[in-house]
């Protein structure tokens, strides 16, 4: 009986993988044609108001979440669901996530596909996932555990050191906005009229956040995907995606009003109010130019430039049970000597390791069929010329030695993403 169920599940999963692969192949073709359009070297983006203005009327009018609708740690996805660019219940398929983030924000199809597939593997059922917590809309099978959604994806999606979300150990949950963190960013530009949140300002904010985590959270953990990729990446998203584009500022200007609107904050400066789940796209707001989608190439460029300014963002590791005990992961031990802390950031190794490590940490039940899926993902990243991102000659990595993580309680204890509050959820 058990064997029968296992076999039935394998077919089901194979079906889903096959469906995902069809979508990936189709999107890859689109991606390639958009790449052909945009030739390097990078020039200033154009601006076309008619094309870039995002409709927030009629079908796309803001509708706050109702009982049972999922909302979670990502303000971008929450806003898409509130405006019906994603299903209003907050549960969507790989295709829906990929298309909505591309259409409304100009997220490159390579990043959006990667993030969507990753969500489906780790927090969903390979077909769809929830932008908040567990949902009846995302079922696996009776005898498998219920997918938890990205609200409870600690250390594989959600991580410590986020812009406005608290560290799990400090705040007891990591999906709500902590007003004191938001205010830290908000008041970094305190001349209301000229407020202009740019990448250098967000980098400084990130440095303050990371220092705070290291000095107050004994279980701070900064993983490769959840930390370097997602929490660090999300800082850049604040400006790259939320900033309002115009002829005058084709790369965007992010002022107080726009920042507050996307972050579900209302009220005036001495009385800022957070209404969970009410993230909105402002009226009269313009997305990235169509010739300037935020692709993996630009994303990696941002991560590396930030790493040069603040090397902390490149340091995988965490505290070892006391505050201020940050210890870097021994990358050589982790990868059996294939990479070390220095070579990881050379050539295309970062991109190689990113994809390879995902292949290796997929939940064991999915492993077989997913090797096929991730090889399609590998293929997706191939051939980005001149970016250092090609995966053509990756060093061979055959296994990850996860025992290197045993010194980090923030890694070993995360279990289900719902610690009892441990510390002091302040800034």
Ligand X SMILES: *[C@@H]1O[C@H](CO)[C@@H](O)[C@H](O)[C@H]1NC(C)=O
User: Which structure tokens are listed for 418?
Assistant: 């719902």
- Per CB under 6 A, 165 contacts ligand HEM: yes
Is position 380 an interface residue for ligand X (rule: CB under 6 A)? no
- Tell me which residue has its CB nearest to ligand HEM: 76
Listed in sequence order, the residues at least 6 apart from 319 whose beta carbon sits closer than 8 Å to its beta carbon are 214, 217, 218, 219, 220, 221, 325, 326, 327, 408, 410
Nearer to ligand HEM, 274 or 339 (CB): 274
Nearest-approach distance from CB 312 to ligand X, in angstroms: 7
Tell me which DSSP letter residue 196 carries.
-
Q: Which is nearer to ligand X, 15 or 32 (CB)?
A: 32
**DSSP assignment of 200-246:** HHHHHHHHHHHHHHHHH-TT-EE-IIIIIIIIHHHHHHHHHHHSBP-
Could you say whether residue 157 binds ligand HEM (CB under 6 A)?
yes
Q: Which of 197, 219, 237, 286 binds ligand HEM (CB under 6 A)?
A: 237
For residues 101 and 131, give the distance between their C-alpha atoms in angstroms, rounded to a whole number.
13
Query: Given candidates 24, 28, 47, 105, which one binds ligand HEM under the rule CB under 6 A?
Result: 105
| Residue 318 engages ligand HEM in binding (rule: CB under 6 A) | no
Specify the 3-state DSSP secondary structure of 91: strand
Does residue 39 interact with ligand X by CB under 6 A?
A: no
Applying CB under 6 A, among 89, 93, 116, 319 the residue interacting with ligand HEM is 116
Position among 198, 340, 359, 412 found at the interface with ligand X (CB under 6 A) = 198
Q: How far apart are CA 266 and CA 243, in angstroms?
A: 18
Tokens of 10: 């394998």
Interaction mask 254-293, ligand X, x per CB under 6 A: ---xx-----------------------x-xxx-------
Q: Which of 13, 24, 56, 77 binds ligand HEM (CB under 6 A)?
A: 77
Picked from ligand HEM, ligand X, none, the partner binding residue 244 (CB below 5 to 8 A depending on kind) is ligand X
Among 27, 121, 126, 150, binds ligand HEM (CB under 6 A): 150
Contact 317, 333 (CB under 8 A): no
Nearest to 49 by CA among 244, 220, 340: 244
Query: Which residue among 246, 340, 387, 412 contacts ligand X (CB under 6 A)?
Result: 246
- What the block records as the tokens of 193 is 């009229």
- Nearer to ligand X by Cβ, of 321 and 336: the residue is 336
DSSP string of 284-298?
A: T-B---GGG-B-HHH
Going by C-alpha positions, the residue among 168, 173, 164 that lies closest to residue 208 is: 164
385 near ligand X, rule: CB under 6 A:
yes
Contact 48, 289 (CB under 8 A): yes
Q: Residue 238 touches which of ligand X, ligand HEM, none (CB < 5 to 8 A by kind)?
A: ligand HEM
* CA gap 334, 412 in Å, rounded: 15
Nearer to ligand HEM, 122 or 339 (CB): 122
Shortest Å, Cβ 407 to ligand X: 8
> Could you say which of ligand X, ligand HEM, none residue 246 binds, taking C-beta under 5 to 8 angstroms by partner kind?
ligand X
Identified binder of ligand X from the candidate list 84, 244, 343, 357, rule CB under 6 A: 244
Measuring CA to CA, which residue among 169, 170, 236, 244 is closest to residue 206? 236
Looking at the Cβ atoms of 16 and 212, the one nearer to ligand X is 212
Q: Residue 229 in contact with residue 420, Cβ under 8 Å?
A: no
We find the least distance from the C-beta atom of residue 385 to ligand X, in angstroms, to be 4
Q: Which of 45, 65, 75, 149 binds ligand HEM (CB under 6 A)?
A: 75
d(CA 110, CA 31): 7
CA dihedral 128, 134, 137, 139 (to 10 degrees): 80
Q: Could you tell me the smallest distance in angstroms from the CB atom of residue 166 to ligand X?
A: 17
Q: 195: part of which helix (H) or strand (E)?
A: none
Give me the residues that bind ligand X (CB under 6 A), please. 35, 188, 190, 194, 196, 198, 207-208, 211, 244, 246, 249, 253, 257-258, 282, 284-286, 330, 333, 336, 383, 385, 401, 403-404, 415-416, 418
The residues that touch ligand HEM, with contacts defined as CB under 6 A, are 73-77, 97, 101, 105, 107, 112, 115-116, 119, 150, 153, 157-159, 162-165, 174, 230-231, 234, 237-238, 241
């Amino acid at each position: 009986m058990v064997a029968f169920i296992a076999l039935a599940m394998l077919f089901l999963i194979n079906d889903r993988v096959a469906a995902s692969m069809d979508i990936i192949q189709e999107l890859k073709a689109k991606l390639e044609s958009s790449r052909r359009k945009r030739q390097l070297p990078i020039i200033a983006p154009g601006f076309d108001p008619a094309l870039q203005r995002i409709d927030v009327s009629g079908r796309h009018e803001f509708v706050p979440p109702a009982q049972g609708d999922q909302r979670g740690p990502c303000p971008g996805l929450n806003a898409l669901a509130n405006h019906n660019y994603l299903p209003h219940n907050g549960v969507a398929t790989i295709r829906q996530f990929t298309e909505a983030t591309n259409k409304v924000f100009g997220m490159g199809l390579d990043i959006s596909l990667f993030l969507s597939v990753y969500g489906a593997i780790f927090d969903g059922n390979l077909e769809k996932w929830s932008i908040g917590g567990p949902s009846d809309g995302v079922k696996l099978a009776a005898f498998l555990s219920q997918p938890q959604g990205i609200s409870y994806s600690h250390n594989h999606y959600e991580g410590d050191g986020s812009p406005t979300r608290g560290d799990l150990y400090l705040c007891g949950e990591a999906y709500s906005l902590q007003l004191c963190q938001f205010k830290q960013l908000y008041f970094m530009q305190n001349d209301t009229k000229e407020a202009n949140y740019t990448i250098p300002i967000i980098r400084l904010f990130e440095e303050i956040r990371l220092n705070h985590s290291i000095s107050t959270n004994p279980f701070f953990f900064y993983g490769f995907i959840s930390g370097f990729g997602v929490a660090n990446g999300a800082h850049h998203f604040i400006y790259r995606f939320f900033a309002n584009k115009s002829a005058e500022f084709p790369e965007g200007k992010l002022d107080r009003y726009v920042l507050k609107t996307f972050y579900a904050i209302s009220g005036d400066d001495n009385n800022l109010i957070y209404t969970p789940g009410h993230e909105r796209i402002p009226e009269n707001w313009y997305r990235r130019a169509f010739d300037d989608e935020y692709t993996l190439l630009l994303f990696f460029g941002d991560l590396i430039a930030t790493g040069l300014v603040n090397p902390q963002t490149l340091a995988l590791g965490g505290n070892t049970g006391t505050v201020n005990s940050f210890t870097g992961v021994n990358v050589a031990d982790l990868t059996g000597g294939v990479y070390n802390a220095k070579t990881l950031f050379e050539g295309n190794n970062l991109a190689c390791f990113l994809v390879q490590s995902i292949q290796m940490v997929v939940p064991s039940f999915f492993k077989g069929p997913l090797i096929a899926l991730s090889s399609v993902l590998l293929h997706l990243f191939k051939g980005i010329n001149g970016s250092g991102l090609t995966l053509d000659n990756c060093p061979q990595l055959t296994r990850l030695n996860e025992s290197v993580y045993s010194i980090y309680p923030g890694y070993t204890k995360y279990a289900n993403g719902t610690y009892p509050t441990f510390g002091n959820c302040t800034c």
